[in-house]
A and B are shown apart, each in its own frame.
Chain A
Amino acid sequence: MRMIRTTLAAGLGLVAGVALWEGYKAVGDPQGTEILGVRLLPRASDAAMPHVLDILERFGRAELTGGDPIWTVVLAACLFTLRNVAVGFAAGGLVGLLLAVLMQRFRLAERGLLPYVILSQTVPLIALAPVIAGWGGRLQLGAYPWQPWMSVSVIAAYLAFFPVAVGALRGLQSPAPIAEELMRSYAAGWWRTLWKLRLPASTPYLFPALRLAGASAVVGAVVGEISTGTRGGIGRLIIEYSREATSDPAKVYTAMIGAALLGLAVAGVVALAELLLTRRTVVTS
């Protein structure tokens, strides 16, 4: 019921967005509106803001003359990026969870590390992306050469770890002192308290954190692909297509929509996992 309402609302928002877009195209100045010498309103020309229908129609035509239809290219790029997102999300989530458990277990670790976990979010370390890109093709991991996509996943993982670390720590610390004392009275050790009490209690904090981590991993992967110049992903496609904006304005929007759908898909997968997992805990507990 709530799901239907949410979908309906999101659909309504989309319609409003399209109406706004076409409405502005109808009344806006094709060259944009300048106030005091600064262009404050965007160009409404077809080259800058193509019609929504043109964009949709562009999905069906070939990428280049004689090539594959563009929707297959965009889809393939999204799947490529999805792999980077998945690897980064998994790695970042794991690191975040382990950090949270470590910080919960040792007060001293929390004191020493938490400031840096928080600091890591206030500073744009994602700016390191171009530097990490330099690892491509030059670093060896044992017998395996460092692949460019790994750089992308590292960046995605970096962005994904923070919400998980903070959210999981809050969740692990959430049980009331009485509940902890109850476990103590059962002579349950730290591990059993973790499994029976802390982890189940952390789910209401963990899943919102994972949802954010998913969104962050997508941003990380897209930005990572752009700054590392990794070919094959949707981020790279956005940059390539935006260079053709003057001759083929609708093209870049197809890639943008692809990236948006990718973000929604990842959010949907995390939400689905939450639904399945929390339902199971409800049944078993």
Chain B
Amino acid sequence: MSVLVDRTVAADPAGPARGRSRTAEGFKGLALVVLPPVVVAVAGLGAWEAIVTVGRVAPFVLPAPSAIWEQFTLSLDTIIRTGTASGTNALVGLVLGTIVALLAAMAAGRFRFLAEVSVPVAAALNALPIIALAPILNNMFSATSNIPRRLVVAIVVFFPVFINALRGLREVDPTHRDLMDSYAAGGWTFTRLVRLPGALPFVFTGLRQASSLAVIAAVVSEYFGGLQDGLGSRITSAAANTAYPRAWAFVLGACVLGLVFYLIALLLERVATPWRTR
């Protein structure tokens, strides 16, 4: 799914915005950063509400924000319950996929041959609609198992973490290499003191991308059958019953879940790489 590779590496979707925010200083700067998105949000929601009410747009096309919010508060209990189920799947898959990806990246970083084979394979894997594996995994395990959805999440998560971690491990500042040579420090010492800390920012870039993908994969893989206790199944059943505002309310729940994952990943990144924040 959407993970920018190479130089773009969406390298950091939050990058441009953050870069700008640093240059804009003081209260006025803050206002310039915070105000435009808020204005866009208020104007957008207002226009949406107005168009739907005044234009009498049928709810199956676009329900009004107020109607969605009403359904959201009404079904809050269900949203939390199903959101927890989806969130658990996303989390387990994310952790599993990340661990495997990191191990694979370390192996590929160690052996040149492995890297040459695994990068194209990983890229090819990334071009495939992995989510469509869900029905097959449902057959291989069973339709009442949580494992298929978690495996789908893990496979989807693998790619961004692997590619970013591998790049981080391979990019070593030549001066650092000379310096460590002058200390006669090689092997594991070099890996521990230079490679791993140097790769950390890259790993977190991958993890940040993966965190959103994990939630998306966990929710959407339910559209393919299997156990139906997450947000995805509620969205489909509400839409099937033409209860469109309720379907949107569950989508909103999925959005909140995605945001929570993203923000936690962002927070972990800040904590683990303090030298990049100031």
On A, residues with C-beta under 8 Å from B are 5-7, 9-10, 12-13, 32, 38-40, 42-43, 47-49, 108, 110-116, 118-119, 121-131, 133-135, 138-139, 159, 162-163, 166-167, 169-171, 173, 204-205, 208-209, 211-216, 218-219, 222-223, 226-227, 235, 238-239, 242, 245, 249, 252-253, 256, 259-260, 262-264, 266-267
On B, residues with C-beta under 8 Å from A are 1-8, 10-11, 13-17, 20, 32-33, 36-37, 39-41, 58, 60-61, 116-121, 123-124, 126-133, 135-142, 145, 147, 211-212, 215-216, 219-220, 223-225, 231-232, 235-236, 239-240, 242, 244, 247-248, 250-251, 254-259, 261-262
Quick check: B36 and A111 within 8 Å, CB to CB? Answer: yes
Once the chains are docked, how many angstroms separate the CA of A137 from the CA of B13? Answer: 37
Known: A131-B251, A169-B16, A263-B128. A163 touches B2 (CB 8 A): yes
A11 to chain B, nearest CB (A): 9
Quick check: A226 and B223 within 8 Å, CB to CB? Answer: yes
Quick check: A222 and B240 within 8 Å, CB to CB? Answer: no
Quick check: B8 and A170 within 8 Å, CB to CB? Answer: yes
Please, which residues of chain B bring their CB within 8 A of the CB of A259?
128-129, 132
Quick check: A134 and B242 within 8 Å, CB to CB? Answer: yes
Quick check: B136 and A253 within 8 Å, CB to CB? Answer: yes
B71 to chain A, nearest CB (A): 13
Can you list 14 A-B pairs, Cβ within 8 angstroms, ordered by A? A13-B118, A38-B145, A112-B36, A134-B60, A134-B61, A138-B58, A166-B8, A170-B15, A208-B8, A214-B127, A215-B1, A235-B132, A264-B127, A267-B124
Once the chains are docked, how many angstroms separate the CA of A15 from the CA of B162? Answer: 21
Once the chains are docked, how many angstroms separate the CA of A235 from the CA of B224? Answer: 10
Quick check: A39 and B141 within 8 Å, CB to CB? Answer: yes
In the complex, the chain A residue whose C-beta lies closest to that of B135 is: A242
Quick check: A113 and B40 within 8 Å, CB to CB? Answer: yes
Please, which residues of chain B bring their CB within 8 A of the CB of A108?
36
Quick check: B39 and A223 within 8 Å, CB to CB? Answer: no
Please, which residues of chain A bring their CB within 8 A of the CB of B126?
215
Please, which residues of chain B bring their CB within 8 A of the CB of A242?
135-136, 138-139, 224-225
Known: A113-B40, A122-B258, A223-B131. A127 touches B212 (CB 8 A): no
Partner of B244, one of A122, A131, A239: A131
Once the chains are docked, how many angstroms separate the CA of A129 from the CA of B248? Answer: 11
Please, which residues of chain B bring their CB within 8 A of the CB of A166?
4, 8, 10, 13
In the complex, the chain A residue whose C-beta lies closest to that of B231 is: A127
Quick check: B224 and A131 within 8 Å, CB to CB? Answer: no
Once the chains are docked, how many angstroms separate the CA of A226 from the CA of B15? Answer: 35
